[in-house]
């Protein structure tokens, strides 16, 4: 029942489209889409060289090979020229991504895919609620997937869903619905605990305490982290991976979706504040020309000495994010397991070394701006 209501609510941000399938996490939705596209051994799937490790994982689980394409430094999304170079006779799918909520050059990517008879998938885990040239993020490609993990556009604790735009994929997606395993009782209890803890403790004052507590829980395997240890240290599929979306998740999603418009507005307003400030100071920033369409999840900033920058931020209690401090976040060794060679992707690798994220869900950007003003020496200039 909740799933049906949730589907209707979600479709309001997806231009009314309703072919939505729910899964335990976004990565599981990606796995389902790839399976519906019949991806298997011998196939290649092109992905940005600046993503989360849970994106190459399902490709590898299916016996296919992730092939990376370097990114554009302004949008952090796949470079069209690098994408063309990455296509081989084995390529079956191109995955593009709304990194930090910024849209990729999606029309061009779709044209390239058409010319080469390839499927396209949009990784909308950051971009739900945004649009590109008047159409909702997630509605351009053959399929798209979303995440409602706790720090994605809206939260259901953990969670994922797929939107299917190409009707040829629907029968296979429907058949896969029967194969989904139920979320276990233990997982439901964990999830409920996580939701309650976050609701009650997560405010700015206790942010750092909360982060420490959360890390301790994850370390002791008491909580469903965003990426459990094994998924970031190996390419073996977890024993039970293809799981559904429980009622607890659907209820939490419905509750948090109510605040989405307000959150999108706040994030965009804050992003604007940062861009105006950084531009005036001659520092790197998200260009204003990219603002219109975006759903802003995190604000990316490149700094000269990240360790020092984080240290100073902790001291001033500025909750910086650390998304994409690795080109296949959060992996920082054994890249070869994911068929990744950092040297082949100089833009993504260089950017990942300098990346921090400014907080967007704050009502106190003055404090952040003050911090930036005091630390201008550590912020990279406008031209990289």
Which residues bind to ligand PLP, rule: CB under 6 A? 25-27, 51-52, 54-55, 97, 123, 125-126, 147, 149, 160, 226
Beta carbon of residue 286, minimum distance to ligand PLP (angstroms, whole number):
17
Return d(Cα 301, Cα 283) in angstroms, integer.
9
The two tokens of residue 269 are 């307003």
In the bound state, the residue with its beta carbon closest to ligand PLP is 26
Beta carbon of residue 324, minimum distance to ligand PLP (angstroms, whole number):
8
Closer to ligand PLP by CB, 156 or 270: give it: 156
Beta carbon of residue 370, minimum distance to ligand PLP (angstroms, whole number):
29
How does strand 44-48 pair with strand 65-69? parallel
Beta carbon of residue 252, minimum distance to ligand PLP (angstroms, whole number):
14
Beta carbon of residue 27, minimum distance to ligand PLP (angstroms, whole number):
3
Closer to ligand PLP by CB, 120 or 147: give it: 147
Beta carbon of residue 123, minimum distance to ligand PLP (angstroms, whole number):
5
Closer to ligand PLP by CB, 119 or 324: give it: 324
Closer to ligand PLP by CB, 123 or 142: give it: 123
Closer to ligand PLP by CB, 51 or 357: give it: 51
Closer to ligand PLP by CB, 35 or 283: give it: 35
């Amino acid at each position: 029942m909740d799933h049906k209501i949730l589907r209707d609510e979600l479709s309001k941000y997806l231009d009314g489209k309703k072919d939505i399938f729910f899964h335990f996490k976004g990565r599981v939705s990606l796995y389902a889409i790839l399976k519906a596209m019949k991806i298997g051994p011998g196939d290649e799937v092109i992905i940005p060289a600046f993503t989360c490790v849970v994106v190459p994982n399902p490709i590898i689980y299916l016996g296919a090979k992730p092939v990376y394409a370097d990114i554009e430094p302004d949008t952090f999304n796949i470079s069209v020229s690098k994408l063309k170079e990455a296509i081989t006779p084995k390529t079956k799918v191109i995955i593009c991504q709304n990194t930090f909520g910024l849209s990729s050059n999606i029309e061009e990517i779709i044209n390239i895919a058409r010319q080469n008879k390839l499927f396209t998938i949009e990784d909308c885990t950051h971009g739900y609620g945004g649009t590109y040239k008047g159409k909702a993020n997630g509605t351009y490609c053959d399929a798209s997937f979303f995440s409602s993990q706790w720090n994605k556009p809206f939260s259901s604790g953990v969670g994922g869903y797929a939107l299917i735009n190409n009707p040829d994929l629907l029968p296979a997606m429907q058949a896969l619905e029967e194969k989904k395993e139920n979320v276990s009782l233990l997982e439901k209890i964990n999830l409920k605990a996580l939701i309650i803890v976050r609701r009650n403790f997560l405010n700015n004052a206790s942010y750092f305490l909360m982060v420490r507590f959360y890390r301790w829980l994850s370390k002791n395997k008491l909580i469903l982290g965003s990426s459990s240890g094994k998924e970031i240290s190996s390419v073996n599929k977890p024993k039970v991976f293809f799981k559904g979306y429980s009622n607890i998740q659907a209820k939490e999603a419905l509750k948090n979706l109510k605040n989405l418009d307000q959150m999108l507005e706040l994030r965009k307003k804050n992003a604007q504040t940062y861009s105006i400030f950084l531009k005036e100071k001659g520092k790197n920033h998200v260009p204003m020309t990219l603002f219109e369409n975006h759903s802003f999840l995190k604000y990316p900033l490149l700094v000269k000495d990240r360790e020092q920058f984080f240290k100073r931020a902790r001291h001033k209690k500025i909750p910086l994010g650390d998304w994409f401090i690795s080109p296949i976040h959060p992996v920082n060794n054994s890249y070869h397991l994911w068929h990744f060679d950092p040297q082949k992707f100089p833009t993504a690798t260089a950017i990942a070394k300098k990346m921090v994220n400014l907080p967007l869900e704050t009502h106190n950007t003055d404090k952040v701006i003050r911090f930036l003003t005091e630390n201008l020496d550590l912020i990279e200039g406008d031209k990289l």
